[in-house]
Amino acid sequence: MEITIYRRHIEQRSQKDDRYAPRCGCPLWFQFNWSQPDTTLDGNKLRRGQNKWSAETRLWSEAQRKAKGLESDLKALLEGKPVRQSVTVKGAVDEWLEFRTKNGLTSAKGKLMADKLVAWCDDSDIRLLTAITTERVMKFRMSLPFRTGDSSSVSVHWAVISGFFSWAVGMGYIEKSPVPNTRLYPQFRIKFKQKEVVPPSKQGIENVLVTATGRVAILARLMRESAMALVDAQKFGMSKEDAEKYGLSKPERRPMLQDGTLISGNRTKTGEPYRVRISKSLAEQLEALGSPAFPGTYMG
């Protein structure tokens, strides 16, 4: 599809006879023909025949970049089924997050990856979900800032966004996921070799307890006395509403102080129940912190 970029001149401009004047400061517009029935694209009316849309810029370079994005969206619109024509990336992502929430899937990774996908698509001038091809989705993966080589970080987060595209297929918004099937194409498999986890030495733990101050020192002491993982200890004493507000995983599994020094809960990762006693002095320190006890130790 050919898209023409031209100047829509303002009256009294000296170059008003030249609709392609490169140095003129008048607004730039797009002109193209649409052969299908009237519809909409990202809120703009798309009529059969000639269409003229504002490029919303006066710079040729920016207009050319936007024209490529528009051309891609129009092609995707031509190839998609009518029910899919108005499904934008942002709209699909919002619907997916709502679906996850209503099904009890409220992990922070879903929101994190959804935001990253929407931001990347905005930077790449991609609006329609159907415009995300395998080539583009792999470029998005390459843009992710997570550790590689000795970390499963990319693999874990990529599984989340792959789930989004599988959901979109199930909803009928796209015909197939743009994420390559690694069983058929093993070259796309994310490979990593995690380092062996070495527990800290007794002296290392003592150094942390001596060095840490304020809430962090109490958090470290709580982990030492209770043997709770960081993801569990951070949620100590929080209400379910606060845990959901700060995006902490599995709010219903948060640890609670029962009768002065007894803590009970379920481990975040496994769901395994536990009950553990802590010292009276630590219990008093925790009570003095209020709720939430450890704000600032997690992503808010």
Inter-residue contact 30 to 52 (CB < 8 Å): yes
Residues pairing with 31 in the sheet: 4, 52
**Is residue 287 helix, strand or coil?**
helix
- Tokens standing for 127? 């609006």
- Tokens standing for 4? 């023409």
- Tokens standing for 140? 């998005």
What own/partner pairs with CB < 8 Å and gap ≥ 24 does 224-228 have?
225/276, 225/278, 225/279, 225/282, 226/255, 226/263, 226/276, 226/278, 227/276, 228/255, 228/263, 228/276
Rounded Cα gap, residues 253 and 56, in angstroms: 49
pLDDT score at 84: 42
pLDDT score at 204: 81
Tens-digit pLDDT profile for residues 198-254: 777 888 878 887 888 888 888 888 888 888 888 888 888 788 888 877 777 788 888
Q: What is the dihedral of CA 222, 228, 232, 233, to 10 degrees?
A: 10
pLDDT score at 196: 72
Q: Which domains does the chain have, with CATH numbers?
A: 4-79 (no CATH), 89-188 (1.10.150), 202-289 (no CATH)
**Is residue 262 helix, strand or coil?**
strand
pLDDT score at 115: 92
Inter-residue contact 63 to 28 (CB < 8 Å): yes
* pTM, entire model: 0.51
Per-residue pLDDT of the chain in tens (300 residues, 90 and over written 9): 799 999 888 766 556 677 887 777 788 999 999 998 888 876 678 899 999 999 888 888 888 888 888 888 888 788 764 434 468 899 999 999 999 888 877 667 888 889 999 999 988 888 888 888 888 999 999 898 876 666 677 888 888 999 999 999 898 888 789 999 888 888 888 776 767 767 778 888 788 878 888 888 888 888 888 888 888 888 887 888 888 777 777 888 888 888 788 988 888 888 889 898 999 998 888 888 888 888 776 654
pLDDT score at 83: 36
Sequence-distant (≥ 6) Cβ neighbours of residue 229 within 8 angstroms: 223, 267, 268, 269
What own/partner pairs with CB < 8 Å and gap ≥ 24 does 116-125 have?
116/144, 117/89, 117/93, 117/161, 117/164, 118/89, 118/90, 118/93, 121/89, 121/90, 124/69, 125/65, 125/66, 125/68, 125/69, 125/70, 125/72
Residue with the two structure tokens 């002065």: 260
pLDDT score at 29: 92
Residue with the two structure tokens 């009316």: 45
What angle separates helix 134-143 from helix 153-171, to the nearest 10 degrees? 150
